[in-house]
Every structure is written in C-alpha cells, then in structure tokens.
Amino acid sequence: MLGVGHYQVESIRSRATLDGVERVIEISESGTRLLDASGAEHVLTERGALTLGAGGSCRLALAVSVDGEEPGISDRTCSWELKEDVFLLGDGRGDGPRTAYRVRKIGDHLVLDGLRDLGPGDEDLGDATGERIVLLRGTMRGSQSVDRVTEQSRHSDGPNVTQEL
C-alpha cells in the first residue's frame, strides 16, 4: 500500500494560524478559496511531492502559491514509519514529534487521515483529527505525462508522433 517510493501530494489539510486564528485549511492543486480578516478572498494552490526512502528517511517538498504569485517553497527532510495501517511522519532528525495517520486506499489515491500527534517517546501530544494528506503514487509530474503518452503509444497501432522541443 504505502512504502518506499515517490508520491505526488494532491492535497494537504493542516492546522494553520491565519490572522491570529487557528484553523484547519486544505490546500490542493485545484486551489482553495480563503477569506482574510478584511474579507478579501485569496486562492491558495499547492504542488508537492513526498519521497519515502529506505531506512525511514523521507523528503517532503511543497510549493504554495497565493493568488497566482510566486510560490513559497518548503523542502524538508523527514522521517517515516509504517505500523500496519498507521503511517508515522516526523522531522528529519527522527527524534522529535511525529504525527500518526490512518492510511486508506481510495481508487488510485492513498488518503492519510490524522489521528494523534506523538512525542519522541510516543507520548500523546494531542489530537491530529482533521489533518489529511492525499497522495498519488508515481514519479515526477513531467515523467508522468511522458509515461502516459509512451504507454498509450505501446498499445496503439497508429503512427508515432514526435514532438519537437
């Protein structure tokens, strides 16, 4: 189900403090509309990738854009562990707090639903209910579109089309 490999982050729902108020917000590739304290609407979009390595190392990279502006980028190392259907995601040192997620497969997607925040000794630090990460297993975006075209051409008896770059 979930293991070593590359995953596209289709959406991420997390707690955030906006205008001094803690809220749960979901940011996706298709965009999320939010109102700021003055009532102005903003659209947040994200693109992201999660790479799970052997031995519990990982990297989570997210680019978040507000109103189509240049995105802010978070690219951090992390640690991971899978215990049956519970995925634990922590900081890059591997000795800090972690969030436990229940893993469900829905179609081609892996949905990680937040359960609890845990301390380094697995002590309960709080509720992570409402947090969610939606993943799609695969390679980088550019490679996915090439792979789809390549796969389609293998099953086609029609002419091969070459696109100039």
Query: Where would I find the H helices in the chain?
Result: 141-154
Least confident of 1-10, 80-89, 119-128, 136-145: 136-145
Structural domain includes residue 32: yes
Sign of the C-alpha dihedral computed for residues 102, 103, 106 and 111 taken in this order = positive
Least confident of 17-21, 29-33, 84-88, 156-160: 156-160
Nearest to 138 by CA among 150, 147, 129, 130: 147
Backbone angles phi, psi at 96, to 5 degrees: -105, -165
Containing domain of residue 82, as a range? Answer: 5-154
Structural domain includes residue 161: no
Structural domain includes residue 149: yes
Structural domain includes residue 40: yes
Give the mean model confidence (pLDDT) for residues 3-9: 96
- For residue 153, is pLDDT > 50? no
- Calculate what percentage of the chain has a pLDDT beyond 70: 84
Structural domain includes residue 57: yes
pLDDT of 94: 76
Confidence of residue 24 (pLDDT cuts 50, 70, 90): confident
Rounded Cα gap, residues 113 and 127, in angstroms: 12
Structural domain includes residue 163: no
Rounded Cα gap, residues 118 and 122, in angstroms: 5
Report the relative pairing of strands 124-127 and 41-52 from DSSP bridges: unpaired
How many angstroms separate the Cα of 152 from the Cα of each of 114, 119, 145, 149, 158? 37, 47, 11, 5, 10
CATH number, residue 36: 2.40.128
- Number of domains into which the chain is organized: 1
Structural domain includes residue 162: no
Q: How confident is the model over 30-79, as pLDDT tens digits?
A: 999 988 888 899 999 999 999 999 999 999 999 999 999 999 999 999 99
Q: Per DSSP, what are the bridge partners of residue 115? A: none
Nearest to 13 by CA among 23, 5, 21: 23
